[in-house]
Amino acid sequence: MQKGSLRVSWPGDNHPRSVGDDGSSRPSSSKNLPENRHQLVEDGSVYTKQTAESGNGLYAAREIAAKSQLIFVTRPLLVALETSKLQTTCYACFRSPSDSDWPVTVDKHHSLKTCSRCKVVKFCDQKCQSQAWSQYHRLECNLYSKLHPRVLPSTVRAIIRLLKQYKAGMLPDGEWEQLLALESHQEDFAKAGGQRWQDLLIMMQGIKGYSGTDESPDLILRLVCVLAVNSFTLTNATFDSSGLILHPKPSLLNHSCEPNAYVRFDVSSSTYQQGFPTLGSISVHALRDITKDEEVTISYVDTTFPSEKRQQELRDRYFFTCQCGFCAKGPDTAQDSYHLSPGSSLKSAIGAKVREIGQEADQVFLSMEANAGLEHEHIDEIRAAMSRLAKTGAWPIHRYPWPQLRQQLLYGLLGSNRFAEALLHSAVFVRIIHPVLFEQEHHPIRLVQMWTFWNLSRQCLETLMQKDNPSDKDRQDIRTLGVLNCVTIDHIRQISNQGDQPKGRLERMVDRAFEEVQQEGVFWSEYLRNRAEIRRTAWLWVDNQIKALLKGEGVRQEIVDRGLARVPG
């Protein structure tokens, strides 16, 4: 499940546009390139163009249909797992036995094998270990072993590996130069100063000292800044983050708060269709139709934030003021409006009170974010902040930070195994919040939430079916959840499987779930007998549950009705 934006990295100055101008002698990268380091980059749908406003960007070379894949990079130039994930994630394919998308064909209790030399990294099997060893781990294993049990931060590990691969002539042709040509904002970072600049300097010194590189401190600092501005958060099919990842091609994508594309890391190469896809490729997909010569954009920040918050984050982390069409709409967007009665304004006494309550809820959200993973210990606190927002009567249910608090409540309920309650909060996203915030039904965040909803309905169904002496109400709920399961998986499959695009792990999980539901038979046969009517009654049941939940939260009836009026049955 995703907690942040589609693109997340850290802040970033200087415009080192000239290629290879760092003064050091360069090994020829292609001469020593082992066969398996040949890079596969499919990018025929885009071209690069530079503008005065946003530097280099990618533009559509032809008409591009919604959901098409525009760019595919087999493997990143830089990648590093978060330190906390090294113990639980395979160092080669980035899968984890605890992942919700771990293939069922692989034993869930399967444990990863630790590298016997460094004792820091782990692998699924011999194949993953050999692949990692030949491509990078042999360059860093000794260093990790010397430092063990200390582990270097992910950015430091990523750059040390890159420098060693570069020196060994192992980088794919041209990628080092492309990396150095990316925006680094090195001067802006220096000018902004503060703790962040100090951290970047410390990283640079650490890399210089630990790698034994003869590259200059200035070049290393530039690499650190390039990473801060250009890396993506590596996420699995359901948006759980596990590290950072970068390739210079997709890093050329500029930002819009109303993007026409998004990035994912779980798609297999079109030439590799067998088996279950691993993580770690980078692919860019169209959110909507893109016209020839239109700029392809992604969002660097959470587009559900109000404009002021988005602008602030973009200025602080990426050093620009967003001038996209969405920001130009000002307070008219769903992200920025309030439910205020005619005549009242945010400047009135009531408006000021509403804003104050919003700021308090913001603080609760931020403190929860800082305690990610511990949401289950703060369920009451999250509920109280949500209830205060509801009581204003003016706070839209889809306005920041209410959805974010609801998402944390959902995590908390999952963490406490309270699946029935979690199901209802997931339903609020699927039916009311996401249709307002994300226009396309195939938007990855909507799809993943629908997938969560399906999994939760399945979990609730299984719990009920395991009861020894089910009551009449239980039997009725079993039937309702059984057909809801069919309705939902059929719907997700239709949305996720349109077109003949290469499949990612999400699509494969959906396919497999679809087959399972069909094979189980009972509810599926009932569903097939009258799909339209069953769909209608299943969603009506969900909507009635949502109404009861939101009424209990103190949300005004008309706000709920208005929300539900937007979604089809």
Ligand X SMILES: C[S@@+](CC[C@H](N)C(=O)[O-])C[C@H]1O[C@@H](n2cnc3c(N)ncnc32)[C@H](O)[C@@H]1O
> Could you tell me which stretch among 314-322, 368-376, 438-446, 485-493 binds ligand X (CB under 6 A)?
314-322
Nearer to ligand X, 136 or 318 (CB): 318
Q: Which amino acid is at 107?
A: D
55 lines the binding site for ligand X (CB under 6 A): yes
Nearer to ligand X, 45 or 230 (CB): 230
Give the Cα separation of 437 and 496 in Å (integer): 19
Are 435 and 567 within 8 A, CB to CB? yes
Report, in Å, the least distance between residue 202 CB and ligand X: 22
- Looking only at the bridges linking them, the beta strands covering 41-42 and 69-73 are antiparallel
Structure tokens at 222: 């530039």
Q: Is the peptide bond before 153 cis (omega within 30 degrees of 0)?
A: no
Structure tokens at 330: 């000002």
Nearer to ligand X, 16 or 206 (CB): 16
319 lines the binding site for ligand X (CB under 6 A): yes
The count of chain residues that interact with ligand X, using the rule CB under 6 A, is 19
Nearer to ligand X, 205 or 321 (CB): 321
> Could you tell me which stretch among 182-190, 278-286, 413-421, 427-435 binds ligand X (CB under 6 A)?
182-190
Binding ligand X (rule: CB under 6 A), the pick from 189, 320, 338, 523 is 320
53 lines the binding site for ligand X (CB under 6 A): yes
Nearer to ligand X, 13 or 140 (CB): 13
Q: What is the CA radius of gyration of the chain?
A: 25
Closest CA to 166 of 241, 231, 223, 109: 223
Nearer to ligand X, 178 or 459 (CB): 178
Tell me the torsion sign for CA atoms 38, 43, 49, 53.
negative
Give the Cα separation of 283 and 250 in Å (integer): 8
Are 206 and 197 within 8 A, CB to CB? no
Q: Judging by beta carbons within 10 Å of its beta carbon (0-12, 13-18, 19+), is residue 463 exposed, middle or buried?
A: middle
Binding ligand X (rule: CB under 6 A), the pick from 40, 43, 54, 340 is 54
> H or E segment at 166?
helix 154-167
Binding ligand X (rule: CB under 6 A), the pick from 71, 182, 354, 437 is 182
What are the DSSP calls for 31-99, one per residue?
A: TT--GGG---EE-TTEEEEEETTTEEEEEESS-B-TT-EEEEESS-SEEEE-GGGTTTSBTTT---TTS
Binding ligand X (rule: CB under 6 A), the pick from 322, 368, 409, 517 is 322
Report, in Å, the least distance between residue 65 CB and ligand X: 24
Report, in Å, the least distance between residue 556 CB and ligand X: 37
What are the DSSP calls for 404-427, one per residue?
A: HHHHHHHHHHHHTT-HHHHHHHHH
How many helices (H) and strands (E) the chain has is answered by: 20, 13
> H or E segment at 354?
helix 349-370
Binding ligand X (rule: CB under 6 A), the pick from 183, 215, 490, 543 is 183
Report, in Å, the least distance between residue 256 CB and ligand X: 6
178 lines the binding site for ligand X (CB under 6 A): no
Report, in Å, the least distance between residue 226 CB and ligand X: 9
Q: Is the peptide bond before 97 cis (omega within 30 degrees of 0)?
A: no
> Could you tell me which stretch among 48-56, 163-171, 235-243, 433-441 binds ligand X (CB under 6 A)?
48-56
Are 285 and 69 within 8 A, CB to CB? yes
Report, in Å, the least distance between residue 231 CB and ligand X: 9
Nearer to ligand X, 306 or 502 (CB): 306
265 lines the binding site for ligand X (CB under 6 A): no
Binding ligand X (rule: CB under 6 A), the pick from 56, 131, 135, 440 is 56
Nearer to ligand X, 213 or 251 (CB): 251
Nearer to ligand X, 185 or 431 (CB): 185
Nearer to ligand X, 247 or 431 (CB): 247
- Give the dihedral of Cα atoms 213, 218, 223, 226; nearest 10 deg: 180
Binding ligand X (rule: CB under 6 A), the pick from 2, 29, 45, 57 is 57
Report, in Å, the least distance between residue 67 CB and ligand X: 23
Q: Which of residues 205-264 bind ligand X (CB under 6 A)?
A: 229-230, 251-252, 254-255
Report, in Å, the least distance between residue 11 CB and ligand X: 9
Nearer to ligand X, 15 or 353 (CB): 15
- Rounded (5°) CA angle 511-413-543: 65
Residues that bind ligand X (CB under 6 A): 12, 53-57, 182-183, 185, 229-230, 251-252, 254-255, 318-320, 322
